[in-house]
A = this chain, B = another copy of it.
Amino acid sequence: MTDVTGLTVGVLGGTGPQGKGLALRWARAGIKVIIGSRSSQRAEATAAELGEGTTGADNPTTAAAADVVLVAVPWEGHGDLLTSLRDQLRGKIVIDCVNPLGFDKQGPFALPVEEGSAAQQAEKLLPESRVTAAFHHVSAVHLVDLSIAELNTDVLVLGDDRDATDVVRALADAVPGMRGVYGGRLRNAHQVEAFTANLIAINRRYKAHAGIRITDV
């Protein structure tokens, strides 16, 4: 098992629901977490709200200070943000959890992405980083609800760098009830991102906060 207890995780978009929720769970698991945001003041406010030793900073400072960086920003700003942080993210493990989705009156649907997926766009924009894709399907509502002690969900971890995916799997395993499962190469990230549209459709039909488990593993 890869040891992640000494790592510092930076969360770009750490003031949004998904980033904030994962930051909280990692911090409670004893991992050092920096909340990143366009505004350092908003980042610091979120860190103060979360407690658990988290700190806040603007996105470039967060990226520079972290060993592993979670990208949890809205799809609209994804490409521009990563392009601006190429230097700070050099050599680092980047975890992309962004789901390019659209919504209309029939509900959610997957947006086409020129590079194939958000993760592949990150790989293209960050050629000197170690890009992985993970944490797309974890319910933000469950993450911030500390009455849920065990989250009961698997995290699919995709990437072409075995050591990097092992670290990310260990970051999933660090959260009680969460399990990291290798989920394929980065070229198979599109369907994992897009599947979030199906989970949203499931949530609407069943009034749930659905996640997935992989069986026989």
Q: Is A206 an interface residue (CB 8 A)?
A: yes
Inter-chain contact A201/B216, CB cutoff 8 Å = no
A162 to chain B, nearest CB (A): 10
Q: How many residues of A contact B (CB 8 A)?
A: 40
For A192, the chain B residues whose CB sits under 8 A away are: 191, 195, 198
- The residue among A158, A198, A208 with the most chain B CB atoms within 10 A of its own CB is A198
Contacts A110-B191, A190-B191, A192-B195; A201 near B184 (Cβ below 8 A): yes
Contacts of A153-194 to chain B: CB distance below 8 A = 153, 156, 158, 181-185, 187-188, 190-192, 194
A25-58 to B contact mask, C-beta < 8 Å, 1/0: 0000000000000000000000000000000000
For A107, the chain B residues whose CB sits under 8 A away are: 184-185
